């Protein structure tokens, strides 16, 4: 049977292989060409792993109760993008405990979520124990990997497995193009989009006044801090093709 040294060496080689694969994938997706692209990709990956792909999804799908608020798509949009920004900031810090401070922030039960009008307790009641267990387990794993591979390779490890088709999400390389395309479409441009999606957009209904009153200001918020638009406005964008990437973007 292999000893502890052999097992540790095997685990290290597996991590190194994962990092090499991840670096290639991120290169293919244009992450390294974007400003701070690697840190944004890692932030997105951390949020996907630690938060989004966890028990909060069960709360999101569950019916509200007398104790638990409904957690609609717009609130999830706001929460996910805000946490991505917090993860991005944390990953730029030299604080050796930054991942655990991010854990504390995610699991804070009392602070009102920006743009959402509720707390983790309000939205996650009935799932709080599972959420806490999941977050702590994933953060511990990420901290272990960072110790094993070092800071830069850790960012690659954190970002690459989670990206997939998410290259057009907030903070990712194609997000600016998606926001620009949405503003163009809201101004009546992109004829091909309206030919393909016009009927659906009629069913979706008109854009909220918060958007149409000042498209430039709304676009800036959508690009840099979507949560500031509020969950109700973001609910209109959720699953809405108007934010899809332009057809000319590879």
pLDDT at 1: 52
pLDDT confidence tier of residue 136, bands split at 50, 70 and 90 = very high
- Whether 2 maps to a domain, the answer reads no
What pLDDT score was predicted for residue 183? Answer: 97
Task: Tell me, yes or no, whether 248 lies in a domain.
Answer: no
Same domain, 28 and 52: yes
Q: What letter does residue 62 receive in the DSSP assignment?
A: S
| 249 located within any domain | no
Q: Are residues 148 and 84 in the same domain?
A: yes
Chosen domain end from 101, 133, 166? 166
Which residues 6+ apart lie within 8 Å of 76 measured at CB?
60, 238
Predicted confidence (pLDDT) per residue in 98-117, tens digit: 999 999 999 999 999 999 99
Helices 151-163 & 37-47 angle (0-180, nearest 10):
60
Q: How many domains does the chain have?
A: 2
Q: Are residues 41 and 159 in the same domain?
A: yes
32 & 108 share domain: yes
Write out pLDDT tens, residues 190-235: 999 999 999 999 999 999 999 999 999 999 999 999 999 999 999 9
206 in the same domain as 154: no
Residue 111 lies in a domain: yes
pLDDT score for 42: 94
Domain that holds residue 118: 9-166
Average pLDDT, the chain: 91
Domain boundary among 143, 166, 189: 166
One domain for residues 158 and 182: no
Predicted confidence at residue 41, as pLDDT, reads 92
Does residue 20 lie within any of the structural domains? yes
CA distance linking residue 170 with residue 121, whole number of Å: 25
pLDDT digits 0-9 by tens, 49-72: 999 999 999 999 999 999 999 999
- Do 160 and 183 belong to one domain? no
118 & 85 share domain: yes
pLDDT at 247: 74
Residue 179 pLDDT:
97
- Boundary (domain end) residue, out of 125, 146, 166: 166
Buried-exposed string 148-161: b where 16+ CB fall within 10 A, e elsewhere: bbeeebbbbbbbbe
Same domain, 116 and 205: no
Residues 151 and 179 in one domain: no
Q: Give the integer Cα–Cα distance in Å for 210 and 230.
A: 10
Residues 20-48: pLDDT tens digits?
888 888 888 888 888 899 999 999 999 99
From residue 9, alpha-carbon distances to 13, 20, 154 in Å are 6, 16, 18
Q: For residues 159 and 61, state if they share a domain.
A: yes
Is the pLDDT score of 16 beyond 90? no
Same domain flag for 13 and 120: yes
Is residue 4 domain-resident? no
Q: Is residue 232 part of a domain?
A: yes
């Amino acid at each position: 049977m292999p000893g502890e040294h052999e097992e540790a060496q095997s685990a290290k080689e597996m991590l190194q292989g994962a990092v090499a694969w991840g670096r290639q994938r991120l290169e293919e997706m244009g992450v390294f060409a974007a400003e701070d692209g690697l840190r944004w990709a890692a932030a997105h990956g951390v949020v996907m792993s630690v938060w989004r792909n966890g028990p909060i999804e069960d709360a999101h799908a569950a019916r509200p109760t007398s104790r638990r608020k409904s957690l609609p798509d717009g609130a999830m949009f706001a929460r996910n993008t805000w946490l991505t920004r917090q993860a991005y900031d944390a990953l730029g810090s030299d604080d050796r405990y930054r991942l655990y401070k991010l854990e504390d922030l995610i699991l804070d039960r009392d602070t009102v979520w920006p743009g959402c009008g509720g707390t983790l307790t309000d939205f996650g009641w009935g799932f709080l124990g599972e959420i806490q267990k999941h977050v702590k387990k994933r953060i511990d794993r990420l901290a272990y990997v960072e110790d094993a591979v070092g800071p830069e390779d850790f960012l690659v490890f954190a970002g690459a497995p989670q990206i997939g088709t998410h290259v057009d999400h907030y903070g990712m390389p194609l997000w600016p193009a998606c926001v620009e395309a949405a503003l163009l479409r809201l101004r009546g441009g992109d004829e091909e989009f309206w030919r393909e999606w016009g009927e659906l957009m009629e069913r979706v209904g008109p854009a909220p006044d918060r958007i149409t009153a000042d498209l430039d200001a709304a676009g800036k918020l959508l690009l840099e801090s979507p949560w500031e638009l509020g969950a109700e406005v973001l609910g209109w964008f959720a699953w809405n093709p108007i934010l899809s990437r332009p057809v000319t973007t590879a």
